[in-house]
Amino acid sequence: MLAIEGLNAHYGASHVLQGVDIEVPAGTIACVLGRNGVGKTTTVRAIMGLLPPSSGRVLLDGQDIAGWAPHRVARAGVAYVPEGRLIFPDLTVIENIRVAERRPAKTWPLHRLMELFPALHERAGNKGSQLSGGEQQMLAIARALVSDPKVLLLDEPSQGLAPLVARELARVIRLLCRDGVTVLLIEQNLKLAEEVADRLAIMVKGRIVYSATPAMFRADEDAVRRRYLMV
Ligand SMILES: Nc1ncnc2c1ncn2[C@@H]1O[C@H](COP(=O)(O)OP(=O)(O)O)[C@@H](O)[C@H]1O
Ligand SMILES: [Mg+2]
C-alpha cells in the first residue's frame, strides 16, 4: 500500500532524511518512534509533498508519488493530521469538518464520523476553541477522514493527552484500521504505539535503525529504549 524507499530530504543544506525505508502494508498500522528532532515530522511532510524529497520513492499502491504537489497526494488518497492538530478555533465541530470536504464523503460521511466519535457528536455545535485536547485531536482525525483516504498519516496524536484519552484515541485508530484505512503513526508514547501498531520502527538521525513487531519489541524493549529512545 504505502512503501517509502531510500527517501532523502533536505532543509537547505541540512540533510534531514538520509535514506528512510518504511513499509506499511494495506490495512495495517505502522508506527515510527524516535527522539525529538530525528526527522519524524519531516518524513510525513515529505510523503505529503509539503517538503519535496531530494531522492527516493514514495509508492502508493505501486505508483511513485514522491515530489507530487500536496493536493495531488491528497487526491491520490493520503490524508495528514499534523502535529498540533490545527483546527479552526472559531468554527464549530461540524463546520471544521465541512470545510475539509471537497466532495461528499463516500466512505466517511458525517453521520459515520459522528458514530465513530460520539464525543464529537455531543459537541457538534461547539466551537473548536471550546473542545478539550482529546476532542480536538478526534476532530482533526475526523476532518482528515472526509477525504476518504486510503492512507492516514498521524503526527504525534497523543501529544498532551491524558492517559485515558490517549487510550480512547488508540481504540479509534484500531477501528479505523479495521475499516480499511492504512495508518502511518508517528508517536513518542511507547505504550500507545505498542498497543495499536502492527509494526514498530525507530528513527535515529533521519534513518530507520530498528523495526519489529510489538511482540519482538517487547522482548528487547529495555535495551532498545536505552539505546534509541531515551534522552
Ligand atoms: N522548517 C525547517 N527548516 C529547517 N530545519 C528544520 C525545519 N523543520 C525541522 N527542521 C530540522 O530538521 C530536523 C528534523 O525535524 P523534525 O522532522 O521536525 O523532527 P521530529 O519530528 O522527529 O521531532 C531537526 O533537526 C529540525 O531542527
Ligand atoms: Mg515532530
pLDDT of residue 101: 87
Across all residues in the chain, what is the average pLDDT?
A: 95
Mean of the pLDDT values across residues 168-181? 94
Instruction: Say if residue 187 is in the same domain as residue 88.
Output: no
Write the residue with the smallest CA distance to atom 10 of ligand 1: 11
pLDDT of residue 149: 96
Type of residue at 49: G
CA of 78 to the centre of ligand 2 (A): 18
- Determine what percent of the chain is predicted with pLDDT higher than 70: 100
Query: What is the distance between the alpha carbons of residues 112 and 230, in angstroms, rounded to a whole number?
Result: 40
Give residue ranges with CB within 6 A of ligand 1: 11, 14, 16, 34, 36-42
* Ligand nearest, relative to CA of residue 45: 1
Instruction: Say if residue 65 is in the same domain as residue 170.
Output: yes
Picking from 13, 19, 40, the residue whose alpha carbon sits closest to that of residue 159 is: 40
Picking from 229, 162, 178, the residue whose alpha carbon sits closest to that of residue 200 is: 229
Instruction: Say if residue 91 is in the same domain as residue 198.
Output: no
pTM, whole model, 2 decimals? 0.95
Q: Name the CA radius of gyration of the chain, rounded.
A: 17
CB 81 within 8 Å of CB 145: no
Domain boundary among 148, 168, 200: 148
CB atoms within 10 A of CB 104: 9
Instruction: Say if residue 104 is in the same domain as residue 129.
Output: yes
CA of 37 to the centre of ligand 2 (A): 7
pLDDT of residue 230: 83
Instruction: Say if residue 221 is in the same domain as residue 169.
Output: yes
pLDDT of residue 16: 98
Mutate to test the pocket of ligand 1, among 38, 202, 209 (most ligand atoms within 8 A of CB): 38
Instruction: Say if residue 138 is in the same domain as residue 93.
Output: yes
Residue 66, all three cell numbers = 514522491
Confidence at 105, pLDDT banded by 50, 70, 90: confident
Mean of the pLDDT values across residues 39-44? 98
State the residue range of the domain holding 130: 84-148
Instruction: Name every residue whose Cβ is closer than 8 Å to that of residue 53 and which is 6 or more positions away in sequence.
Output: 7, 8, 9, 17, 46, 66, 67
Instruction: Say if residue 50 is in the same domain as residue 91.
Output: no
| CATH code of residue 172 | 3.40.50.300
Q: Report whether pLDDT(85) > 90.
A: no
pLDDT of residue 108: 92
Question: What angle do helix axes 163-178 and 133-145 make, rounded to 10 degrees?
Answer: 10
Q: Report whether pLDDT(231) > 80.
A: no
Instruction: Say if residue 73 is in the same domain as residue 154.
Output: yes
